């Protein structure tokens, strides 16, 4: 039935999560399903709803384009997952849904490198407040204190110098990386502004090769109140570098996320189980810091204003403010089907309070797979066998795609253990399975439900 659309509803959706959580793959699959919509394979809204008149739109000014065509092409023709994200980007499109009578949709999706989330605590803090925030964490967290020993020693000397403090902090960050701790700030130590990522090597080599700031000569490290008082010139120098870093690296993406209406928060439950309790703790802390600065939710008065603005204002002026958050446990195909419900329980136990504690925020929990790339092995239930094309050989190194093989995955626990070490659980990565036909999007699980929830 042809529809007469009186208005456009603009939905800005930020997708966040640690590095390697599955953000870019999720966005690629989502756009592919919208572009080639099939109501049976991607059921949206009321039964039979279809997407019409899909058209990509250029990104907002100042935003690099999300490389959807390149990622989709790499998946289909080279059997490769999208490359690691090195810079923030945005994908915008416009479409109609047959279950929306009066409005079409302008959907804006934001992607960013997961490393950057660790810098969220810089927003709204000056250098002294950020230093206290980081040092407070170091004092109260034993694994952090252990990794940060070289840095704490440099701060404690009677005449701390810029070189000694920076070297100590960079050694500490290197130790944290090697202990699978993702809370690395400034995040350019892991992924610099040109997109070059830290490679595995010794703490000393990492500390020499990597930069804690915008570039060599603009590095900074947190300083204790005692050192700030004893060395005011050094504190002023680091504070100026910190402010520049915040303005160039942190504010652009956090302001964009703040202007979103919804967030998709990916929590890679299997990566956290495989990475050990330190990775779990850091992911929780990073999300807590992020929620503090984004401040999702709204007051009853803001709800009234938002509804009025949606009716009265043109879509480009629709006020921002995050009122919906979809927490998603991704890569569901890497878990044995008999354990898939556990991913939801684990997700809720880990991040449920983040949402509960916010007024005027609607949150929902999903488990999903953006590109289903495994199959069940008949008869393999008890032993948790899956079938797929392994991404790594027995030595842990990446191998070229070969034949399908069976492999075992760990049983998912009913709840997070009190403690666990890296490698105690294993969910091997696989090559993507995707139809070669260009207009046939990948098989997915629950992605349409996530989209339905965040687009309103």
Does residue 89 interact with Mg ion by CB under 5 A? no
Total site size for ligand GTP, rule CB under 6 A: 24
Nearest-angstrom CA–CA distance, 267 and 337: 19
- Based on CB atoms, which residue is closest to Mg ion, 23 or 210? 23
Does residue 109 interact with ligand GTP by CB under 6 A? no
* Residue of 274, 276, 270, 272 whose CA lies nearest to 421: 276
The nearest distance, CB 444 to Mg ion, in angstroms, is 17
Q: Which of 108, 110, 114, 273 binds ligand GTP (CB under 6 A)?
A: 114
Of 62-70, 79-87, 227-235, 393-401, the window that binds Mg ion (rule: CB under 5 A) is 79-87
Nearest-angstrom CA–CA distance, 198 and 189: 7
Does residue 85 interact with Mg ion by CB under 5 A? yes
Beta bridge partners of 95: 105
Cα 50 to Cα 1, 8, 97, 113, 430, distances in angstroms: 11, 17, 6, 32, 32
Residue 199 DSSP label:
-
- Close Cβ partners of 66 (under 8 Å, ≥ 6 residues apart): 27, 59, 89, 90, 91, 109, 111
* Residue of 89, 15, 11, 66 whose CA lies nearest to 366: 15
H helices of 50-126, in order, are: 68-77
Of 47-55, 252-260, 292-300, 328-336, the window that binds ligand GTP (rule: CB under 6 A) is 328-336
The nearest distance, CB 391 to ligand GTP, in angstroms, is 6
Q: Which of 334, 361, 448, 451 binds ligand GTP (CB under 6 A)?
A: 334
What number of CA atoms fall less than 13 Å from residue 151's CA on the CB side? Answer: 26
Task: Pick what 249 binds: Mg ion, ligand GTP, none; C-beta below 5 to 8 Å, kind-dependent.
Answer: none
The nearest distance, CB 25 to ligand GTP, in angstroms, is 4
Q: Which of 120, 370, 389, 454 binds ligand GTP (CB under 6 A)?
A: 370
Does residue 331 interact with ligand GTP by CB under 6 A? yes
Q: x/- binding map, residues 419-448, to ligand GTP, per CB under 6 A? A: ----------xx------------------
- Close Cβ partners of 10 (under 8 Å, ≥ 6 residues apart): 106, 108, 315, 316, 318
Question: Whose structure tokens read 């960079």?
Answer: 170
The nearest distance, CB 445 to Mg ion, in angstroms, is 20
Question: Do 274 and 427 form a contact (C-beta atoms < 8 A)?
Answer: yes
Q: x/- binding map, residues 1-40, to Mg ion, per CB under 5 A? A: ----------------------xx----------------
Beta bridge partners of 363: 325
Task: Pick what 25 binds: ligand GTP, Mg ion, none; C-beta below 5 to 8 Å, kind-dependent.
Answer: ligand GTP
265: tokens are 């928060």
Beta bridge partners of 364: 326
- Close Cβ partners of 209 (under 8 Å, ≥ 6 residues apart): 198, 201
Does residue 23 interact with ligand GTP by CB under 6 A? yes
Task: Pick what 42 binds: ligand GTP, Mg ion, none; C-beta below 5 to 8 Å, kind-dependent.
Answer: none
Nearest-angstrom CA–CA distance, 138 and 157: 18
Cβ atoms < 10 Å from Cβ of 400 = 9
Q: Which of 7, 84, 315, 449 binds ligand GTP (CB under 6 A)?
A: 84
Of 2-10, 133-141, 351-359, 366-374, the window that binds ligand GTP (rule: CB under 6 A) is 366-374
- Based on CB atoms, which residue is closest to ligand GTP, 105 or 328? 328
295: tokens are 């401040």
Positions that interact with ligand GTP (CB under 6 A) = 17, 19-25, 81-82, 84-85, 113-114, 330-331, 333-334, 369-371, 373, 429-430
Positions that interact with Mg ion (CB under 5 A) = 23-24, 85
């Amino acid at each position: 039935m042809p529809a007469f659309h009186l208005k456009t509803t603009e939905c800005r959706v930020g997708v966040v999560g640690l590095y390697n959580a599955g953000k870019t793959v999720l966005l690629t699959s989502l756009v592919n399903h919208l572009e080639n919509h099939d109501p049976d394979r991607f059921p949206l809204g009321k039964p039979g709803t279809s997407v019409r008149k899909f058209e990509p739109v250029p990104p907002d000014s100042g935003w690099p384009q999300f490389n959807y065509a390149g990622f989709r092409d790499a998946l289909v023709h080279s059997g490769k997952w999208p490359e690691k994200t090195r810079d923030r980007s945005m994908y915008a499109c416009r479409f109609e849904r047959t279950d929306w009578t009066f409005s079409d949709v302008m959907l804006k999706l934001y992607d960013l490198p997961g490393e950057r989330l660790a810098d969220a605590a810089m927003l709204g803090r000056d250098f002294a407040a950020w230093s206290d925030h980081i040092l407070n964490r170091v004092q109260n967290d034993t694994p952090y204190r252990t990794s940060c020993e070289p840095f704490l020693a440099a701060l404690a000397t009677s005449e701390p110098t810029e070189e000694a403090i920076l070297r100590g902090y960079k050694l500490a960050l290197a130790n944290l990386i090697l202990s699978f701790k993702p809370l690395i700030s400034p995040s350019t130590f892991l992924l610099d502004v040109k997109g070059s990522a830290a490679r595995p090597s010794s703490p000393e080599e990492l500390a020499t090769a990597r930069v804690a700031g915008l570039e060599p000569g603009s590095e900074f490290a947190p300083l204790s109140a005692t050192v700030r008082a004893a060395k005011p010139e050094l504190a002023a120098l680091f504070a100026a570098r910190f402010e520049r870093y915040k303005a160039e690296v942190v504010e652009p993406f956090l302001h964009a996320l703040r202007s979103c209406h919804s967030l998709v928060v990916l929590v890679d439950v299997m990566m956290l189980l495989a990475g050990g309790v330190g990775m779990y703790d850091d992911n929780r802390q990073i999300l807590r810091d992020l929620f503090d600065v984004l401040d999702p939710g709204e007051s009853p008065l803001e709800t009234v204003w938002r509804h009025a603005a949606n009716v009265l204002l043109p879509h480009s002026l629709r006020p921002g403010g995050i009122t919906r958050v979809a927490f998603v446990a991704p890569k569901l195909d890497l878990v044995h089907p008999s354990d898939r419900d556990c991913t939801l329980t684990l997700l809720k136990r880990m991040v449920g309070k983040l949402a509960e504690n916010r007024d005027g925020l609607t949150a929902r929990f999903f488990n999903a797979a953006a590109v289903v790339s495994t199959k069940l092995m008949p008869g393999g239930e008890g032993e948790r066998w899956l079938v797929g094309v392994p991404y790594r050989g027995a030595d842990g190194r990446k191998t070229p795609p070969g034949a399908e093989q069976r492999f075992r995955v760990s049983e998912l626990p009913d709840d997070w253990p009190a403690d666990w070490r890296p490698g105690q659980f294993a969910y091997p990565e696989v090559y993507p399975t995707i139809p070669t036909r260009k207009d046939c999007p990948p098989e997915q699980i629950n992605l349409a439900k996530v989209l339905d929830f965040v687009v309103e």
